[in-house]
Amino acid sequence: MFADYSWSELGSIFAMQGFAGLILFSVFVLMALGLAIIFGQMGVINMAHGEFMILGAYVTYLCSHFVQNYAPALFPVYFFVAMVLAFLASGALGALVEWALIRHLYKRPLDTLLATWGLSLILQQAYRSIFGAREVGVELPQWLLGSFQLTDLIEIPINGLFVMALTLLIAVGVYFLMFRSRLGMQTRAVVQNRVMAGAVGINTERVDRATFAIGCGIAGVAGSAFTMIGSTGPTAGQLYIVDTFLIVVFGGAASLLGTIASAFTISQAQSTMEFFLSGSMAKVLTLLTVVGILMLRPEGLFSLKIRR
């Protein structure tokens, strides 16, 4: 399959596909980080995670419309406001869902899976009723359009670069939140030993709610970033949920670093193969490899050494 291309062409193909892979990687990381917090730290399966992401995307879409119509002067920077709003909206919905649904089910993880699947169906239909079944897109400000011409064959789109920078920023933020902040410390304490954490004065219920809300909020930001590279439809979230869960499991559920590493591996493998094979076969091969590796090494790439 390589015989038809010259060496320089192959190099460019790998560079371009690698870059496309990096954008896919960014989306995966943004979605998977939220999921890794919720699933990896709390052990809750949130099948509605994709719908929280889409909520962020719709919030961004509404923001772009609002700014375009009422405050066109702010248009170049509306995106930053939209991102904050997306975080707040998804986070608030997350807190509500935790209060109404998840907290009753911490002892029954398989049942959370069913309940959140139901939630995802309801949210999907709600999006369809409110925004219509057609996909919507946002208009990007001028400074995000266009691309750098690196060589004759390699072209780097600016919005892709922006999304990647954003991902990096959020990943660093999550790191600080989980490992350097008080809330992160409390979350990790509750995960390791709930009763003990409660005994030293941590309000475990509040920590649970905050953790779940932050995980959902990050999904909202992911959706916000997602609007820059693709259009949003009511069912777009469901397309990514299986990949995201596989990424989190593949990376080792409790490890944030593992999540990033596995998102990188999977996205690069998929986008590089996509050039040579058809899109669907690339995806099948990637997922099959991941499932195969998981069957051989169920604990994932990076695993915590703990006694069970």
Partner 1 sequence: MTQGKSFLTRQELLGLAVVSLLILVVLPMSVDIFRLNLVGKYLTYAFVAIGLVLCWGMGGILSLGQGVFFGLGGYCMAMFLKLEASTPENTAIQSTPGIPDFMDWNQITALPWFWEPFRSFPFTLVAIVAVPVIFAFIIGAAMFKRRVGGVYFAIITQAIAAILTILIIGQQGYTGGVNGITDLRTMNGWDIRTDDAKYILYFVNAGLLIAVILAAQGVRKSKLGRLLVALRDKEDRVRFSGYDVANFKIFAFCLAAAFSAIGGAMFTLQVGFMSPTLVGIVPSIEMVIYTAVGGRLSIFGAVYGTLLVNWAKTTFSETFPELWLFGLGALFIAVVLVFPNGLAGLYRSYLQPFVDRLIGVKKADEEDETPIDAMPEAAARPAE
Nearer to partner 1, 184 or 300 (CB): 300
Residue number, 9 or 111, with CB nearest to partner 1: 111
**Binding of partner 1 by 188 (CB under 8 A):** no
Kindly write out the interface string for residues 129-148 of this chain, putting x where it contacts partner 1 by CB under 8 A and - elsewhere. x-------------------
CB of 163 to partner 1, least distance (A): 25
CB 266 within 8 A of CB 291: no
Q: Which of 9, 10, 43, 165 binds partner 1 (CB under 8 A)?
A: 43
Rounded to whole angstroms, the Cα distance separating 52 from 249 reads 20
Q: How far apart are CA 136 and CA 235, in angstroms?
A: 12
118 binds partner 1 per the rule CB under 8 A: yes
Q: Measured between alpha carbons, how far is residue 40 from residues 168, 230, 252 in Å?
A: 20, 28, 8
First to last CA, the chain: 47
Task: Check binding of 295 to partner 1 (CB under 8 A).
Answer: yes
Span 146-185, contacts to partner 1 by CB under 8 A: none
- The residue behind tokens 């777009």 is 236
User: Are the CB atoms for 233 and 51 separated by under 8 Å?
Assistant: no
Q: Measured on CA atoms in the order 79, 81, 82, 83, is the torsion positive or negative?
A: positive
Query: Is the Cβ of residue 232 or residue 270 nearer to partner 1 in the bound state?
Result: 270
According to the 3-state scheme, what is the secondary structure of 118-130?
HHHHHHHHHHHHH
Question: Which residues lie below 8 Å from residue 55, measured CB to CB, with a gap of 6+?
Answer: 86, 89, 90, 93, 123, 127, 220, 223
Indicate the residue among 65 and 128 with the shorter CB distance to partner 1. 128
Sign of CA dihedral 224, 225, 229, 234: negative
CA distance 271 to 279: 9
Residue closer to partner 1 (CB basis): 173 or 279: 279
* Closest approach of partner 1 to the CB of residue 177, in Å: 24
Options 147, 242, 276, 304; binder of partner 1; rule CB under 8 A: 242
192 binds partner 1 (CB under 8 A): no
Encoding tokens for residue 58? 């719709």
> What is the smallest separation between the CB atom of 51 and partner 1, expressed in angstroms?
11
Scanning residues 66 to 105, which ones bind partner 1 (CB under 8 A)? 101, 103-105
User: Contact residues for partner 1 (CB under 8 A)?
Assistant: 43, 45, 101, 103-115, 117-122, 124-126, 128-129, 193-195, 204, 238, 242, 245-246, 249, 278, 280-281, 283-284, 287-288, 290-291, 294-296, 298
